[in-house]
Amino acid sequence: MKEPITDHDIQLFFDAAEKLLNAAERDGEKARTATVALSSFIEKAEARLQRLENDVISSIHSTAETTANRTAELLSAKFQQADKAAAEAARKYQEAVDKLNVRTWLYFLSVQAVIGLVAVTFIMFYAS
């Protein structure tokens, strides 16, 4: 059979319930403290990640700009070299044209001189 519940049993029950309530309140407070700490950690981590992302983006932009500037410098140097080569080619072409003009005139004058000499010889030979 069952034993009757005494005042002492009831007091033990309420003491145990009070201890459970106190422990639950302490655990709840610890959980709230842990939640606040975790929330603060998450905010700080997100801020650090955002700074890291901004730094990476800035670094990429800086690298791209440096690369573009260097490429522009190299292209400019190559175009200057090409311009010098074109100027030299034009000078040589003009020299060739000038020499060709001189030769053409020399050939023309030589033919004229030969024709003149033939004419003088013909006149001298048949006029006598």
What pLDDT score does 1 carry?
Answer: 55
For the stretch 61-94, pLDDT in tens is 999 999 999 999 999 999 999 999 999 999 999 9
pLDDT value, residue 106: 83
pTM given for the model: 0.48
Q: Using CA of residue 37, residue 42, residue 44, residue 45, what is the dihedral sign?
A: positive
Lowest-pLDDT choice from 46-50, 58-62, 112-116: 112-116
The Cβ-side half-sphere exposure at 109, using a 13 Å CA radius, reads 6
